Amino acid sequence: MGRVSPDWTIRVGPIEGEAQQASSDRWAVLDDAQLVRACVDGHREAFGAIVERHRRQVYQLCYRYVGTHEDAADLAQDTFVRAFKGLRGFKGQSSIATWLYRIAVNVCLNRLALKTPRPEPLLADDRPDLQAVRPDAALLRAERAAEVRAAIQQLPRKQRATLILRVYHELPHEEIAAILGSSVGATKANLFHALANLKKLLR
Amino acid sequence: MTHLSELEIVDQIEGALPPARAAHIADCSVCRAKIEQITEALARAHAVEIPEPSPLFWEHFSSRIRKEIAEAPEPGSSGLPWAQTLSWQWLAASLVVALLLGAGAWRLTTRAPDTPATVASSAPLNAEDPSSIDAGTDADQAWALVQSLADEVEWSDSVTADLAVRPGWVDRAALDLTSEERKELLRLLKAETRM
């Protein structure tokens, strides 16, 4: 009886997913500055580690700015692509996170200048009827959070950016001033007015 | 004592107000009310969390960026197709060749007094009259070409392209000149420094 050769072959070496994993592990051990250098030197796959490291923060910044998941995902993606294209311009004077925030804020501001944002729906019909059903604590919390997010989106652009960068990303006033191209005094004033307006909107 | 300014109220809620100014708050109900309102708004803002997207979203997100980046030009390049095929070395080499050609053509024209095409040849440069140098070079078409090429090059670009003069380059260039050329260079430099 002759030998029948199998209709499958044994692959020597890592399969595609494993190779990708090995590649990302290789870059994951480097710090941001080393990753930037690697990208500029032509190892564009190193940028994946930068994305991996900062994607959540950038997405959250965009989400807080525009208030919808779809827009935030688009803007965050745009932020990273622009960051990659402009990587040579990153001189390391600030952290890469701050640099990404700066790009993200500009991307968000540009988007808002082009179109009216879709605010998170907060119509009366969308609110749970607290009289009819026993209010669940989580539901109530979610509703209040939606109210605050909607209010934040009604703030003037610079006040909104200042509030987001200071309250949620805890950037120092100096860095916020650098990102927005204003002074520390103006940044503090913007924060004051953002919170004062938020208070009025949430009454 | 004056009321706290907006900036001082922000400093107060962030714990950065100097004690001397913070003492005012105990005596001033107006400032206390303002601080209370701002603090309350801050607390409400703090309490808001962003809905966390699914792990699948992050996978798609990263892979979409990976795809876009794979198709993107190298960081810092102009993105123009023709520019992607040119390296800085080629650009630098082209510019140097253009400069050499221009300089060679200019030297030939200044050395050929019978050539009628240029003012430089018909009117020899006068070291006593520096304007005659400009008149000669301005009328030289080859030199004009070099000038127009050089005018479009930003200083920062020339540094990036490694076109800036480095220590020792001028000395080496001077050593390559013939004695006549050195004399001419000396004459031109003298004329230039008298301007």
Inter-residue long-range contacts of B69-75, CB under 8 Å, 24+ positions, other chains counted: B69/A44, B69/A47, B69/A80, B69/A81, B69/A84, B70/A44, B72/A44, B72/A81, B72/A84, B72/A85, B73/A85, B74/A42, B74/A44, B75/A39, B75/A40, B75/A44, B75/A84, B75/A85, B75/A86, B75/A87, B75/A88
Instruction: Say if residues A135 and A128 touch (Cβ distance below 8 Å).
Output: yes
CB contact (8 A) between residue B45 and residue A148: yes
Q: Is residue B96 part of a domain?
A: yes
pLDDT-derived band at A41, boundaries 50, 70, 90? confident
Among A160-164, B11-15, B45-49, B117-121, which stretch is predicted with the lowest mean pLDDT?
B117-121
pLDDT of residue B141: 66
Q: At what angle do helices A96-114 and A69-85 cross, to 10 degrees?
A: 120
Distance from CA of B52 to the nearest CA of A (A): 9
Reference A150, options A123, A110, A129; nearest CA is A123
Q: Is residue B162 part of a domain?
A: yes
| Same-domain check for residues B168 and B103 | yes
Q: Please indicate, yes or no, whether residues B107 and B188 belong to a single structural domain of this protein.
A: yes
Do B22 and B88 lie in a common domain? no
Say whether B50 and A60 touch across the interface (CB within 8 A). yes
Please tell me the predicted confidence (pLDDT) of residue A91: 82
- A4 torsion bin: left (phi>0), alpha (psi -120 to 50), beta (else): beta
Query: Is B76 domain-assigned?
Result: no
- B72 Cβ contact list (under 8 Å, min separation 6): A44, A81, A84, A85
Number of structural domains (chain B) is 2
Residues B94 and B171 in one domain: yes
Residue B82 is predicted with a pLDDT of 45
Asked if residue B185 belongs to a domain, the reply is yes
pTM, full prediction: 0.60
Chain A residues near residue B48 by CB distance under 8 angstroms: 145, 148-149
Question: Does residue B58 form part of some domain?
Answer: no
How far apart, in whole angstroms, are the C-alpha atoms of residue B124 and residue A173? 65
Contact A77 B62 (CB under 8 A): no
Alpha carbon distance, N-terminus to C-terminus of chain B: 65
One domain, residues B40 and B107: no
Closest chain A CA to residue B39:
A195
Tell me, yes or no, whether B87 and B147 share the same domain: yes
B182 has a pLDDT exceeding 60: yes
In a domain, B53, yes or no: no
Nearest CA in chain A to B42: A195
The ipTM (two decimal places) reads: 0.73
Query: Across the interface, do A86 and B51 touch by the CB < 8 Å criterion?
Result: no
The residue among A77, A73, A92, A84 whose CA lies nearest residue A44 is A84
Domain that holds residue B188: 81-193
- Identify whether B139 is part of a domain: yes
CB A26 within 8 A of CB A34: no
Phi, psi of B152 (to 5 degrees): -85, -5
Same domain, B89 and B40: no
Same domain, yes or no, for B97 and B171?
yes
**Residue B41 belongs to a domain:** yes
Site of tokens 């029948």:
A4
Same domain? For B28 and B86 the reply is: no
Task: Please give the Cα distance from A55 to A64 (Å, whole number).
Answer: 14
- C-beta atoms of B41 and A189 within 8 A: no
- For chain A, list the domains and their CATH numbers: 22-119 (1.10.1740.10)
The whole-angstrom separation of Cα B166 and Cα A10 is: 58
Name the more confident of A28 and B25.
B25
Measured in whole angstroms, how far is the alpha carbon of residue B159 from the centre of its chain? 9
If asked whether residues B40 and B98 sit together in one domain, one would say no
Do both B89 and B159 map to the same domain?
yes
- What is the crossing angle of helices B29-46 and A184-201, to 10°? 80
- State residue A127's pLDDT score: 46
DSSP string, A81-114: HHHHHTGGG--SSS-HHHHHHHHHHHHHHHHHHH
Q: Report pLDDT digits (tens) over A59-106.
A: 999 999 988 999 999 999 999 999 999 998 888 888 899 999 999 999
